[in-house]
């Protein structure tokens, strides 16, 4: 068995890709549009995952599949989904870059190890420090949790 991808739905494809690609740092590795089905699939990977964009759909691994249905729908229950998790080189620098991009840090990395943010579609994203936790550092150590994560 091989893990392939996790699918999340997007209300606004441009806003969702701005979050995942421009702010979180994922890269688009494949796109598929279905006129008949009225949807677009965009497969994203972390830069270090080493997936190839020319592989078949079943070979893109590990990926986040963003599904955008062209006809408007309301999606609720992003918390029911659980979360996506990514390991980062420096939790503080990653959270600062996200904050600078307008992303709310719902669970700040007060422990130097773990943080949570949410995508524009309400999907929880867990960020974990690679290796050992970093020493507690301000302003992160004193930040309060915001909302749910």
Tell me the catalytic residues: 126
| Structure-token pair, residue 45 | 């990977």
Comparing C-alpha atoms, which of 82, 102, 81, 72 is closest to residue 11? 72
CA dist., res. 32 & res. 48, Å (int): 23
* Cis omega (within 30 of 0) for bond into 141: no
CA dist., res. 84 & res. 131, Å (int): 19
SS3 content of the chain, % helix, strand, coil (to 5): 25, 30, 45
CA dist., res. 75 & res. 123, Å (int): 11
């Amino acid at each position: 068995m091989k893990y392939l991808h996790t699918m999340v739905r997007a209300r606004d494809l441009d806003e969702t890709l701005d979050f995942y690609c421009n702010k979180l740092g994922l890269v688009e590795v494949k796109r598929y549009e279905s006129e008949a089905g009225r949807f677009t699939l965009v497969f994203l990977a972390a830069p270090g995952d080493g997936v190839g964009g020319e592989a078949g759909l079943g070979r893109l691994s590990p990926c986040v599949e963003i599904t955008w249905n062209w006809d408007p729908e309301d999606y609720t229950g992003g918390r029911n989904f659980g979360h996506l998790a990514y390991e980062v080189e420096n939790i503080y620098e990653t959270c600062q870059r996200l904050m600078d991009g307008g992303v709310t840090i719902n669970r700040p990395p007060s422990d130097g190890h773990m943080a949570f943010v949410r995508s524009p579609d309400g999907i929880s994203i867990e960020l974990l420090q690679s290796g050992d936790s970093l020493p507690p550092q301000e302003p992160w150590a004193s930040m309060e949790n915001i909302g749910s994560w």
